[in-house]
Structure 1
Amino acid sequence: MTARLTIALDVMGGDRAPAVVIDGANIARERFPNVDFLMVGDEQRIAPLLARLPLLQKVSQILHTDKSVSADEKPSVALRTGRQSSMRLALDAVADGRAVAAVSAGNTGALMAMAKLSLRTVPGIDRPAIASILPSQRGETVMLDLGANVACDAENLVQFAIMGDAFARAVLGLVNPSIGLLNIGSEEMKGREELRQAAALLRESPLAAQFKGFVEGNNLSSGTVDVVVTDGFTGNVALKTAEGTAQLIVHLLRESFKSSIWARVAYLLMRPALSQFRNRVDPRRYNGAVFVGLNGIAVKSHGGTDGLGFANAIGVAVDMAMHGFLDKIRGQIAALQATAAEPVSAVSVVP
């Protein structure tokens, strides 16, 4: 029998908490019958919702706190005052082994700050990164960092490649995911010095066979590689641009089909194909960004998602836990350290 997993949920995080979190957990319960939930938040608000869902209630335990982190709270303030918040207690449950992962739709900056403090980083990793999945012509692409680190050096980028490789193996089920560094051109002389240094280090690392060199912005949607590595500033801009482009396409399609009677008739004929297209680019399907590099699994759901989107974020956490995400990162770090010419510190894990 498959061992049962406990996922800690920050039930008070998100624009429509706690209802959306409970709804998402109920959807996830059907998908993952081996999962239990530690519901962290205000029991007076959670219990009535669970009472309406007896099957979910059966696999859930409430950890009460009446404190939560607001959407606009500064990370520094959240660290000082939020030790008993639903967000922090969910992360602490992972740190002390009561849960295998934490999922929150709350304040991103506060979640990152609290996760770094509560879970710490994996030995050999300097900085955690935010990783997520984007749709592409070939299927799905992992991209990181999406905003945790504005500036990165070559060693950071190599570590992101390690974490992206482990993420793609755990969540997408890829055996040897291809890896590329996001740059302004594919030529070796293009880009900043840290990018060229990172490329050189990757070509000499255990990831050399998977590393395909530099990729450009248009390669994100074409799926040229399975894992795209970049700094947090560039990654966040690229992500928001992709999201905006998808929204623009949907908007233009809607306007086009309203333009004439014949366009409306065409819409009726194309309805099945359009439904398939809408499902393919539905942001809820790709909900669940992960703070990779931490000594524990923390998943960030979009704050404005619905139950289906939150269920998908829970699914990401379950996949990472079931497929040994942390062990894969530790194994890659050990392999890099073993190839070093001399002993290395946590700051320098590559030859």
Structure 2
Amino acid sequence: MSVGFDHETLGQRIVFKSGSAADNLAAEVGRLRASRVMVIAAEFESETAKKVSTGFDVALHYSDVSPHVPIAKAKAARAIASEYDIDLLVCIGGGSTTGLAKAIAMTTGLPIVAVPTTYSGSEGTNVWGLTANSRKLTGVDNRVLPVTVIYDAELTLSLPVELSVASGLNALAHCVDSMWAPRADPINQAFASEGIRALASGLQAVVSDPAGIDGRERALYGAYLSAVAFASAGSGMHHKICHVLGGAYGMPHAQTHATVLPHVLAFNAQHAPEAEIRIAAAFGADSAVEGLDRLCSALGAPNALKEYGFDEAAIPEAARLILPAIPESNPHVVTIDDLERLLRAVWSGRPVEG
């Protein structure tokens, strides 16, 4: 069997060491010769941000962060970055915080140093997302790729176990989608396989020992691999569903990904046998669906979007919004009836269906 593909690897510096975020961040600011630094962190992470950014002068601490990056907040942040003559963006937090930094970089070209405190993986991609008129818009732009990512597992210790699980399953969804997304290839499938293995073992360790560093390091490592795979492979069926649910209905990002993932995997796995074998092997299971189901059960993962405010009456509209976004490369043809059936299971928490 012949193999042929085109693969582009994104250039990015990774600094990974627990307990060293402040020192490593100060070193990066110095290496980049920045003098007007804007530190972006949500209000609830402001103390963490101040501790991590003590080794250099900060021109502006900014905390007006919201999920899914509303366009109005992006415009306001861009204006204030210009007003303060910022030359470097430092984002400390999860996907929403990184997303706001990307929104600024997209129009200004300012470099980003990302310091993740969750497993969202946004820091490892050149993908941006903005919400306007209840629709989430996404795109690819190399200007939004952080030049450096500083990983420190100690910064995830304040993330509750429940959110750690949802955030980690969001990362795992990047891996699964990367197996059959439009630009899937053997390289990002290899990254995705190792990401699944690391995330599965890491998240189980986080649940059993929330104060332990080892599991959180494994989860961060897996989250980075998931981001690299996703950045290369692109958005598959899973992400298209979650983008609509997040943008149109304000659903929480990580919990939505965690809830939708088992259903998309069950829908696609039997039609992508090579990918199914890879995923099953990464879980150490006889099948991909069994492996994910076993992991979700062990983690006590979220499984019903009605628990997060999704209205069952919105399902037909959501299915209509999702269908045009499903990539032609999806392993299995998707119909409006398929989507409605999948969304009803996602809403109710019913067991997955093949």
Provide TM-score, normalisation by structure 2.
Answer: 0.30
Provide TM-score, normalisation by structure 1.
Answer: 0.30
Q: Which has the higher contact order (CA 8 A, sep 6+)?
A: 1
Report the structure number with the largest CA radius of gyration.
Answer: 1
Which structure has greater strand proportion?
A: 1
Which structure has greater helix proportion?
A: 2
